Every structure is written in structure tokens, then in C-alpha cells.
Amino acid sequence: MHSVLLLLLLSCDSAGDLTPTVEVIEPVAHLARMSLDLRGIRASPEELLDVRLNPGKVQEYAQLWVSEPAFAEQMAWHYNARLHTAVALRSTPRRFELSETEHRELGWAPLEHVRQIIAEDRNFSEVVTAQSLPLGQAQAQALAWPEPAQAWSLEVPPDGRPMAGLLSSPTLWLVIDGDATSMNRQRANAVARIFLCADFLDREGEFEFALAPEDLQASEAAAQSQDACQSCHAALDPLAAALGGFSERSVNEPIDEAAVYSTFTQDWFRSWVEPAYYGAPLGDLAHLGEHIAADPRYGLCTTQFVAESLLGRALQDSDPLLEWGPTASVQDRALQLTQSAQYRSPQGRTLSNEQLYSVAVDLGERLGGGDLSQRLEPLLWSPERRVLAGGSDDFAVLAENGTPSLGHHLSMAWVARELAQAVSLAGPSNESEVRAQIAELHTLILSEPVLPEDPQVDALWQLYLDAGAWDAPEVAWDLVLQALVRHPQALVY
């Protein structure tokens, strides 16, 4: 069946297409890119052929895919680039004794909140205003909270903390912690960075501190009196005071005690400085969430999150995409972005850890290798594997590496071996059948249709022959499969 599709796909032309005003990839490549970005898997040969015959159907596929669960899963992982909770508890200095399942559920819990909001296409302001949070059973056990009846049940934490979506997350403030010296300023800056895209550390300006070296110990006094300090601290410190109910890093407690919200410490912070949101007086965390949700910067930051996730690059303040303005729907903004000239730019990008994982799992199922999700899970949950494949360990390495490196290729080699061990492709009994199957594999793995007589197939056919061909077809097919999975085009799209 796939051989017929390939012949049809390659025999079609794009007559009648209008010449674009800017250079963009053609519809089949556009669909292939969207499938990876919106679903985390390769487009099927049937889908590629459908768009080759009907280029206008690209948008229909985009509309379908942004409403599928896989899209919300992909975007939740992208949000981890802001939260850095997924695997942080494995490497943070606040080490807790947790099982593997507890590690994963605690790390994923904030992202599950984001995933559910996107999957249900709810207003994205609920990230900071929701009155309940998803609670996993292993997470509940680790925190000594009542276990929910089912996985990721929406619950209110039992310690009486004010509810404001992720602002009330126990995991987030265990990962982004504070101590008596920082006075929760690190957490306050995280609020500005994550939800407003307004990192205090990115503020520009030149100034000199009017402090002698011997006076540096009086930094707290300087923060309250020096004009250069006050330019940030006037907003930062009152914001930090609103987060005083969460435990300090310096307190050596088990996780079930460290995760408890304390009204006592919150009152202590309030006595130090009155909480405020950029000058507006604050009540509790719920009031903070309402202020953030009403801030135009929050909606614009949501647009920035979607654009950076789908484009694979950081946006500058002057980027035209930010002129699209705020959004409350991640699905709608993603649909708009995938049809834009910026998204269709020929500039390629590299598969993320999550894409590499989902592509490999999907390929294993398509090729009859069964469910490989557990074998390939290190791509998602191992800090070392994540960094090797260009990702973040959520602690020491925070920036993702989108430039193909030796680590990427070592990761692809590992994935290729895992697939080859699980999949048996032996079967074709003559050259024409082998060439046809190689052409099908080329389409499945690289999203590039070829004919059995094309040069790409010639090279793989020769590899098949050199590996033993009819005397050892299993070995020959293993090498062909690994060659395709390790092809640079399998990594960059």
C-alpha cells in the first residue's frame, strides 16, 4: 500500500501554486513539520500524499492536531523550559528520598496543570487562578496528603494555602526555593520571568553603587535606600513578600514537611514589607494570581510561549510576532502560528528530547515493535540523557541546545539500536521488494518520499547487500534501519 502512495506522491506536481512573497517550505514539508511540532510524531505517508494532492488541507490538519491530546502534552513539556520542575528534584541541593514514581509525579504535577488547561482549551489565565490542582497518587504519598481516588484528580491541598494555580504549587516552590538571605526574591523574580516574561535580571541600565567595600554587608539597607537598588527592589521586594508562606532552602526537613504552606512565615514576611504587585497592594496568593491574569503582559507572555515553542527560538522584544498581542487560548495561537510565514521559514530546527522520544515510540509501533515507551523513557526522565540529547536537567543545565552536536548523534545511535532490537523487518525476498520497503522506511523515518530507483535507495540497497543480504537478512535490515534513524535528516526538520 505504501509503495503505491509513494508513486502517487512523487508523480504529483504543484502546478497552480502561487509563488510566495517570501521563501517558505512547500506544503508537504510544512505538514511534516507541523506533525512533529503539534503531535510529536512523523506524518504518515497517507497524510503526506493527501496534502501533496490538496495543499489547502494543511490548515485542516493543523485544526485537527491542536485539539488532540498529544498537542497539549507537547506544549506542557515546552512549558517546562520556564518552570524547570520535570526532573529538577533529582539534582537540586534540596535532596529528598523519593521513589522513581514519586520523582516523576512531583516533577510533572505543575506541567499536568498546564496540560489539562491546554487540552480543554480553557482560558490560559487559569494557570495562575485555578482553585484546584491536579494531584497524583504517588505525589500524594510523598507529601503525606490524602490520596485521590484516581490519577491526577483535581484537589485542594489540605494545608489551607490560598489557591492560585501554579502559584500554589508545592513542587514549583520546592524547586525554585529561597532562604533567609534572599528574602524570597528568587521566587519573586521567577514569577516575573515565568508569567510576565519580565525577568528583573534582564533590565538594562548603567549605575554605580554608592557603597564602600566595607559597607557591602549592609546590602539590605542599600536595597532600601540606594536609588540604583530601588529601581528593581521597589517592585521585587513587595512581590517577594507575597510568597513568604513557602519553606526555606536552609530548613532541613523531609519533603512532606518542606512542602507545607505556613501562614506564620507568610505573616512574618508581611511584617517585613507589605506585599504589593508593582505598586498595587496585595492580599494573599489568590489576589496575586488575579493581578497576574489581568496584566496585559501575561497574555502577551502566553503568545511568546507558544511562538517560541513552535519556532524553536527565543523572541526578541521587537519581534513582529509579539505584535499579534495577548492571547488566552494556546490552541488558537498555535493554529495561527503554524500558518504564518515565520513558521514556514526554511530555517530548520532540531528534535527536542520529547519529540525524539515520541517519534521513536511511534515508529516502533508502526514497524511492529510493540510498545517501546518504557525502554525509551530515559529520554524524558534521565537528567543525563536529557542533557546528552540537547535538553535541560532543570538544575545545572537550563538552556536547551538546538544545534546538532555529538550528544545528539550519540542519542540517535542509542535510539536506533533500541529500535533495531525491537523491530524485525526481514521478509522481502527479491531486490525489487527490498527496494520498495527501503523507500517506505525512508518516508516513515525522514518524511521524504523517494522512489525505489532513487539514489538514496541505491545507497541503502548497497548497505543491505554489504551486510549479508539474503544470508543474514535480519542483520542487513537492522543496519538499514539504524542508518535511517541516524541520518542527520532524522534529527533536523
* pLDDT of the residue at 230: 58
Query: How far is 59 from 65, CA to CA, in rounded Å?
Result: 10
Would you say residue 220 has pLDDT above 80?
A: no
CA atoms within 13 Å, Cβ hemisphere of 315: 24
* Distance, C-alpha 239 to centroid of its chain: 27
Would you say residue 212 has pLDDT above 90?
A: no
SS3 of 98, please? coil
Would you say residue 121 has pLDDT above 50?
A: yes
Burial classification of residue 18, based on how many CB atoms lie within 10 Å of its CB (0-12 exposed, 13-18 middle, 19 or more buried):
exposed
Q: What is the pLDDT of residues 175-185, one digit of tens each?
A: 998 876 778 99
Q: Give the confidence band of 148 by pLDDT, cuts at 50, 70, 90.
A: very high
Average pLDDT over residues 251-271: 88
* pLDDT of the residue at 16: 44
Q: What is the pLDDT of residues 51-76, one digit of tens each?
A: 999 999 999 999 999 999 999 999 99
* pLDDT of the residue at 19: 45
Average pLDDT over residues 67-96: 91
| % of the chain surpassing 90 pLDDT | 80
Would you say residue 210 has pLDDT above 60?
A: no
Q: What is the pTM of this model?
A: 0.90
Q: What is the pLDDT of residues 263-314, one digit of tens each?
A: 999 998 888 899 999 999 999 999 999 999 999 999 999 999 999 999 999 9
Identity of the amino acid at 117 = I
Q: Give the confidence band of 216 by pLDDT, cuts at 50, 70, 90.
A: very low
Element of type H or E holding 268: helix 263-272
Top pLDDT among 125 and 8 is at 125
Max intra-chain CA distance, the chain: 84
SS3 of 281, please? strand
Query: How far is 377 from 371, CA to CA, in rounded Å?
Result: 11
Distances (CA, A) of 77 to 118, 306, 353, 413, 461: 12, 12, 10, 23, 38
Least confident of 6-20, 70-84, 470-484: 6-20
Would you say residue 436 has pLDDT above 70?
A: yes
Mean pLDDT of the chain: 90
Top pLDDT among 126 and 231 is at 126
Would you say residue 8 has pLDDT above 70?
A: no
Least confident of 211-215, 249-253, 408-412: 211-215
Query: How far is 151 from 132, CA to CA, in rounded Å?
Result: 14
Q: Give the confidence band of 17 by pLDDT, cuts at 50, 70, 90.
A: very low
